[in-house]
A and B are shown apart, each in its own frame.
Chain A
Amino acid sequence: MSEANMSATSSDSAPMILLEHVNKWYGHFHVLTDIDLTVARAERIVICGPSGSGKSTLIRCINRLEEHQAGRIVVDGVELTNDVRKVDAVRRDVGMVFQHFNLFPHLTVMENLTLAPIWVRKMPKAEAEAVAMKYLERVHIPEQAGKYPGQLSGGQQQRVAIARALCINPKIMLFDEPTSALDPEMVKEVLDVMLKLAEESNVTMICVTHEMGFARSVADRIIFMDNGQIVEQNVPEEFFNHPQHERTKLFLSQILAH
């Protein structure tokens, strides 16, 4: 595709995220093999697969926490290259939620939330705090605004992390196994927040998770990865009821067995 074509990708019909022949190696280990993926605006995608299959690496390439070595990644019309300005432009539109929350422990919840709006979006402090409060209410913990992350439970921390990512008003939300570091009793409160986000907003979501109930009710499409490849992708109904590949069947049988 030429540069001229690329610049026109901001229209509504153009994909939000486009990956073409993306390859990545860690040393000799081929972690992503020839990934092709097109994500539409407001689409909800769940990526699952065994550990080490490259699913986290894949979504971390989308906001350039990892660099790909071959192929193209275009996010909302901006191709990710070594150009720092393009990387910054993409990161301004992409929110990310990590497995281990990665809140800033030396800042209060409010300061965690207003950091990017104030420093990246150059928003006045009062306005940033109002936005932060709005999102804290959406994740049901406005009363924790003045506390430090260390004083919150895991589930509360992850909800703060989701609010923090939403505060930059992203077009895309990436979730990297958001519930797998949580104690079981806290998984639901986080999934509920994510569900509500999917219902009430039109943000594009890509979520790496093994929560198949969540996938079934939220995902437009489920992608199964193994050995750095996209093995199979389908709408939830088909994906769960009629998996095509042996590896998908095996994986589903393992995680749905109990």
Chain B
Amino acid sequence: MSDAALPAAMPKPATNPLTWMREHLFGNPFHVLLTVLVVWFLAMSLPALLDWALLHAVFHAKDVRECQAIDTGACWAFVGEKHRLILFGLYPYDEQWRPLLVVILLVALVGVSCIRAFWNRWLVPLWLVGMAAVGVLMWGGVFGLSYVENARWGGLPLTMILAFTGMAVGFPLGVLLALGRRSELPAIRAISIVYIELIRGVPAVSLLFMASVMLPLLLPEGMNIDKLLRAQIALILYASAYLAEVVRGGLQSLPKGQYEAADALGLTYWQKQRLIILPQALSISIPSLVNTLITVFKDTSLVVIIGLYDLMNAAKAAIVDPAWRGSAIESYVFIAAIYFVFCFFMSKYSQSIERRLDKEQHPS
């Protein structure tokens, strides 16, 4: 049989690095230009960055002056000295194993929740028990733990509590609002629209400020909601309004036939939403859902303006110390790295879910 009779074989993808580079980096003049620019930029910035962050960095010193005397780079000794203040805020120093345990517990809970085998009816009770344990550890006052008022909570556990509770409560609320906005009942639709537009129409900062300053004015005399709870409520409101619009986008992208088929089978409204509509709408909106969740996570740092010592505020507090004046960059780089780890994980996890859903429904 001659070669011509054979079906054309698909060209093998280039595996040789040189061929790969020729194809992908120097394919045409524009690519060459881009490649040169990128390499030039890296050559300019990387060595300086490396110098600062590692080669000329100081890891052990007792204050910032000693740091500067030793070398010109980053003064990581600052982080060594202040990491407990940044991570745990004003929490009593001797009791800081408790917030540390809380961080580990919350990370473990999230870890478990990410594994599909655990997606069953025990997950919600597990979280409730977990959050109760978080409360016991943070507040204390029982089991021989000393009482720590929540005004002294701070740092990473505070950020995690605010963010996770904001997401965990804001998400179902957002789903309900999205459904409400598409409801056929005019009252429910109107309430949902007003809520979403009001909350979404004001900056998160002003929402926090209002929750902190105005909420007490609206409450009856003598009734006092604690500052942390007010911030938490503001974050939940904020998260739910944004998530509602993301979910609504997913709902709208479903073909009308899905609703009709569910109706024709005799499913009730809630069965239809839970079994047919939401699973599809939510999986369509995963990228924008995670985008919003990441925003919510980072926006917990806005509680700075009402004086809570979350990770961001603790980092600010750490650089006030005169012995470490001028360590702002180190402090912010440190917390930026922490925020990044969390957000990057969320991003990667959402990609893996998307891939898995896609593979499940279109295996071929």
Contacts and interface: CB of A to CB of B under 8 A. Distances in A.
Interface in A60-102: 63-65, 88, 91-92, 94-96, 98, 100-102
B279 interface: yes
Contact of B266 (A92, A104, A106): A92
A115 B275 contact: yes
A106 B261 CA distance: 14
A88 B260 contact: no
| B-side interface mostly | helix
Interface string B249-279: 0000001011011111111100100011001
Contact of A116 (B258, B266, B283, B362): B266
Contact of A102 (B260, B271, B363): B260
Interface in B10-60: none
A65 B264 CA distance: 7
B361 interface: yes
Contacts of A52: none
B364 interface: yes
Contacts of B267: 115-116, 119-120
A115 B263 CA distance: 12
B276 A96 contact: no
B261 A102 contact: yes
A128 to B, nearest CB: 13
B275 A151 contact: no
Contact of B257 (A98, A119, A168): A98
B360 interface: yes
Interface in B113-166: none
Interface in B255-310: 255, 257-258, 260-268, 271, 275-276, 279-280, 283
Q: Chain A CB within 10 Å — which of B261, B271, B275 has the most?
A: B261
Contact of A120 (B258, B265, B280): B265
Contacts of B268: 88
B107 to A, nearest CB: 30
A240 interface: no
A166 B231 CA distance: 54
Nearest to A65: B260
Interface residues of A, number: 27
Given A88-B266, A88-B268, A106-B280, A100 B364 contact: no
B360 to A, nearest CB: 7
Interface string A27-64: 00000000000000000000000000000000000011
A210 B364 CA distance: 34
Contact of B279 (A101, A106, A119): A106
Nearest to A105: B361
B276 A104 contact: yes
B264 A96 contact: yes
Contacts of A124: none
A103 interface: yes
Contacts of A151: 362-364
A151 B364 CA distance: 7
Contacts of B258: 102, 104
A100 B279 CA distance: 20
Interface string A109-128: 00000011001100000000
A139 to B, nearest CB: 17
A148 interface: yes
A198 B53 CA distance: 79
Interface string A204-238: 00000000000000000000000000000000000
A7 B172 CA distance: 43
Contacts of A168: 265-266
Nearest to B274: A119
A49 B11 CA distance: 53
A95 B263 CA distance: 11
A115 B276 CA distance: 10
Nearest to A119: B271
Contacts of A164: 265
B165 to A, nearest CB: 29
Nearest to A147: B363
Interface in B346-364: 360-364
A96 B275 CA distance: 19
Contacts of B363: 148, 151
A100 B266 contact: no
Contacts of B361: 105-106, 148, 150
A65 B263 contact: yes
Given A64-B263, A102-B255, A102-B258, 10 more contacts: A65-B260, A94-B264, A96-B264, A103-B261, A104-B262, A105-B280, A105-B361, A116-B266, A120-B265, A148-B360
**Nearest 6 interchain pairs by C-beta:** A102-B261, A102-B257, A91-B266, A116-B265, A96-B264, A120-B266
28 contacts: A63-B263, A63-B264, A64-B263, A65-B263, A88-B266, A91-B264, A91-B266, A94-B264, A96-B261, A96-B264, A98-B261, A100-B255, A102-B255, A102-B258, A103-B261, A104-B261, A104-B276, A104-B280, A106-B280, A115-B265, A115-B267, A115-B275, A116-B266, A116-B267, A119-B271, A120-B265, A148-B361, A164-B265
